Amino acid sequence: MDTNAVRERLLKRRDELRQRASEASADLRHETDPLSADFAEQVTQREHDDVLGAISSSAQVELQQVEAALRRLALGRYTTCAVCGEDIEPERLGAVPYTDRCRTCAEGGRRAAGRDGRV
C-alpha cells in the first residue's frame, strides 16, 4: 500500500470537507445573506438553513472520520480493522478511504455472526 498516496488523498479530502463545513456555517450565520423582514421569505430562508445544517453536520462527521484515518495512518494501523484486527480489504479502502473496519465488520460483523452461533 502506498501510504503517501493515501495520506495525500485524505489530506485533500480533509481540506474539501473543512471548506464545505465552513462555507455552510458561514451561510448559516447569514454573513452575506441577512434574514429577511418578510415572513414568507424567512420561512424559505429557514428551510434553506436546515439544508445547510445537514450539509455542515455531514461534512463534520466525515471530517472526523478522515482525521481518524490520518491518525491511524500515522500509527501504522490504517489497514487494520478496528473491530476484529484483521486487514481491511484494499479495494474497500480504495472505495471508502476513511473506513476503520473490514467489510465483514462493516456489514454487521463477525461478532454478531458469532453470537448467533451455528445457525
Provide the grid cell at 65.
472520520
Q: Which is nearer to Zn ion, 7 or 110 (CB)?
A: 110
Provide the grid cell at 57.
453536520
The upper half-sphere exposure of residue 69, i.e. CA atoms within 13 Å in the direction of its Cβ, equals: 26
Q: Which is nearer to Zn ion, 53 or 97 (CB)?
A: 97
Answer yes or no: are the C-beta atoms of 7 and 70 closer than 8 Å.
Answer: yes
State the minimum distance, in angstroms, from the CB of residue 5 to Zn ion: 23
State the minimum distance, in angstroms, from the CB of residue 68 to Zn ion: 16
Q: Which is nearer to Zn ion, 24 or 81 (CB)?
A: 81
User: Which positions touch Zn ion (CB under 5 A)?
Assistant: 81, 83-84, 102, 105
